[in-house]
Structure 1
Amino acid sequence: MPLTKQAIRRYRAIDQCLSNRQRIWTTDALLAVLSTSYNEHTGSNDGVGRTTLFDDLQAMKEGGDTGFDAPICYSRKKGHHYTVPGYSIFRIPLTGSDVVILQQALHALQAIRGIGLATALDDIIRRMNGRLALAGSLDDIPTILQFEEAPNYTGTNWLQPLYDSIQRQQPVRLGYQSYRAMTATEQVVHPYLLKSYQHRWFLLGYSPAKAELQVFALDRITACADTAVAYVPSAVNFDTHFQHVIGPTVPAGEQPTTVHLRFAHGRAPYVQTKPLHPTQCEVASTPAGLELTLYLVPNPELVTRLLSFGADVEVLAPATLRATMRKRLRAALASYNN
């Protein structure tokens, strides 16, 4: 079972006590410390009971879910104490296999370019290698996982400063030039989220000038600097914000609708094994193809995704989306006819 915040606080308090070998830690002494800590965090006067203390000590000794295996003993002369001088449950050394697992995870994290986390972890693991005197280095580990990257993508240089701004809840002044604009413009943005889609990065943030949540492609940002205005916290739950769309664009005020598609039988297995959206549902298999539905809000990313299937997909409904697809495909055909 996962550790609760209260359990972690108690373990930390017990650890601090037992790490202090200048005092004999009787049961009553530990209870006094735990009760004071508990009451300060909860605002109650209930304190911590003896059963809870003994359960915590036993859990710390046995490991299990905590993974501590702490060398805790009790004697009348020494009270509750660590048998290993200098021991702390928060200073547990990593084993060689732990480092190997971390190294493999680092290789996967290195696919995230620009944020800087991979570089920081690289340095940490190198220091771990030195402490554990392990042979070899990160360069000796064969690549097992390889992620596709967008070549020469120009937006990653803004990931680190925007990531920091979101963490600090710091509004920024963005220079931004959309693909349709002739020149860049500046505006204040309250940054909330960095989202990746189709090998591109996007910033979602509140724009006071527009009085709405906006999406900014990082490769169109020309400048980014802190600005001295009060931060406006997000009122959006980003865990559910994108549940009815494909991509980062959520059309304001639009409600989800049922999108009815028909795929050619030759393309159907690819869509069955890699659904377009979590709401994808198969409704029929006819001589003309596989029919399925999606429940979402049509947006530019959906249109682009459907266009990528070429002649292998037909939009049956809604009529507005079908008309959009017809117009785009006719324009494409006209380009080839010319």
Structure 2
Amino acid sequence: MAINKNALIRYKVLDKCFRNTGRRYFIQDLIDECNKVLLEIDPESKGISRRQIFQDVAFMESGEGWSIDLVKHRDNKRVYYRYANPSFSIDNSPLNEVEINQLRSAMAILAQFKGMPQFEFVHEILPKLSQGITTDQEEVIIDFDSNQYLKGIEYLGELHNAIFYKKVLCVSYQPFENNAPYDVILHPYYLKQYNNRWFLFGYNPDEGLYNWNLALDRIVGITETDGKYHPNTEIDWFEYFDEMIGVTKPVGATTEPVVLHLRGRAGMYVVNKPIHGSQHTKWLDPELLEVKLDLVINFEFKRLILSYGKDVKVVSPEWLKNETADNLKAALDLYC
């Protein structure tokens, strides 16, 4: 049985009534107490019925609830309700079955983050959460696309803290094309994951750019400096990434209209999994889908187009069409 907000409020009210040894709570009293609290929260509440109160009491007595030990005292023809142990409260009781199942699902999700440095606390907290929670069979029913062995992931926790505590960093960095690392002074602002790689964004004072981008797997080392932290006042990261795919944004780049034609299953795939939020589609015939986009054309977008191979054609802009054709010809030459 799922516990919604109003139900939880009623259980709390009933719990308070059952613990009160200074007053006798009959059914109508329980209804009145619940309605009083519900009306304070929602003046338009229509109140609850006797049937609802009986259902609530039955749930609280059940194993799915809190297995409360409730004594029904007779007063002439009426009955009032009170805990057998006045010191009992559902707030102090063990977790019920619903809560255990919810917690078990949350634990299964948390467990998948154990390899990531900023989630090291999971190693300690999971055994504590597991106490008293047993099951005949533990079955994983959800999985995340993550790689705990990814190079550079060990820096995640340190970089997260640097952003949170506003620390200026000196990052030793070695791009793929460089034979040796070089130092970059960076005021870190944002961590972003794309295609199973992590990227750090921040202000590079030497270049005067607020969106300097470093791939974590190319970081060689990190040290804190005594420099004064320069806060981010220039970029809304949600808007920044909303106009492109991936993490690469060429200097001065703006969005451009793009038209693609996709065939067959590739078209059906893109309809169900849009390339970008700006996407608009139209079937030109049962086998040909026209896709219109408005986004920053960057490295990641170009790679995505090439991933569709023979099933995609760039219609416009002309320069992207020609560049894509040249890349496909170069790829073909590898097999000649």
Q: Distance in 1 between matches of 2:199 and 2:278?
A: 24
1:290 aligns with 2:312: no
Structure 1: which amino acid aligns with 2:109?
A
Structure 1: which amino acid aligns with 2:314?
V
Structure 2: which amino acid aligns with 1:267?
A
Q: Distance in 2 between matches of 1:280 and 1:227?
A: 44
Structure 2: which amino acid aligns with 1:309?
Y
Structure 2: which amino acid aligns with 1:312?
D
Structure 2: which amino acid aligns with 1:105?
A
Match of 2:108 in 1: 107
Match of 2:166 in 1: 169
Q: Say which SS state the counterpart of residue 242 (structure 1) adopts.
A: helix
Q: 1:93 to 1:288 in 2, by over 3 A?
A: closer
Q: Say which SS state the counterpart of residue 295 (structure 1) adopts.
A: strand
Query: Any unmatched runs of 5+ in structure 2?
Result: 1-35, 42-85
Q: Contact (CA 8 Å) 1:110, 1:118: kept in 2 or not?
A: no
Q: Distance in 2 between matches of 1:116 and 1:155?
A: 11
Residue by residue over 1:163-185, the C-alpha shift from the partner in whole angstroms, topping out at 9 and shown as x without a partner, is 11111111111010111111100
Q: Distance in 1 between matches of 2:331 and 2:168?
A: 42
Q: Distance in 2 between matches of 1:275 and 1:125?
A: 37
Match of 1:180 in 2: 177
Match of 1:191 in 2: 188
Q: Distance in 2 between matches of 1:116 and 1:97?
A: 31
Q: Distance in 2 between matches of 1:289 and 1:267?
A: 9
Q: Distance in 2 between matches of 1:151 and 1:323?
A: 39
Scaled by the length of structure 2, what TM-score is found?
A: 0.68
Q: Map residues 193-232 of structure 1 onto 2, 5 A cutoff.
A: 193-212=190-209, 213-232=211-230
Report the count of equivalent residues.
258
Scaled by the length of structure 1, what TM-score is found?
A: 0.68
Q: Distance in 1 between matches of 2:103 and 2:207?
A: 44
Q: Distance in 2 between matches of 1:141 and 1:241?
A: 41
Residue by residue over 1:8-67, the C-alpha shift from the partner in whole angstroms, topping out at 9 and shown as x without a partner, is xxxxxxxxxxxxxxxxxxxxxxxxxxxxxxxxxxxxxxxxxxxxxx989965xxxxxxxx
Q: Distance in 2 between matches of 1:296 and 1:196?
A: 19
Q: Map residues 131-142 of structure 1 onto 2, 5 A cutoff.
A: 133-136=132-135, 141-142=138-139
Q: Say which SS state the counterpart of residue 336 (structure 1) adopts.
A: coil
Residue by residue over 1:196-215, the C-alpha shift from the partner in whole angstroms, topping out at 9 and shown as x without a partner, is 11111111111111111211
Q: Contact (CA 8 Å) 2:111, 2:126: kept in 1 or not?
A: no
Match of 1:160 in 2: 157
Q: Which 10-residue stretch deviates more, 321-330 or 171-180? A: 321-330
Match of 2:143 in 1: 146
Q: Distance in 1 between matches of 2:104 and 2:199?
A: 29
Structure 2: which amino acid aligns with 1:155?
G
Q: 1:258 to 1:101 in 2, by over 3 A?
A: same
Q: Distance in 2 between matches of 1:306 and 1:203?
A: 25
Q: Say which SS state the counterpart of residue 187 (structure 1) adopts.
A: strand
Q: Say which SS state the counterpart of residue 105 (structure 1) adopts.
A: helix
Q: Say which SS state the counterpart of residue 219 (structure 1) adopts.
A: helix
Per-residue deviation, 1:308: 0.6
Per-residue deviation, 1:245: 0.4
Identity fraction in percent: 28
Q: 1:230 to 1:94 in 2, by over 3 A?
A: farther
Q: Distance in 2 between matches of 1:215 and 1:102?
A: 38
Structure 2: which amino acid aligns with 1:217?
A
Q: Distance in 2 between matches of 1:57 and 1:116?
A: 47
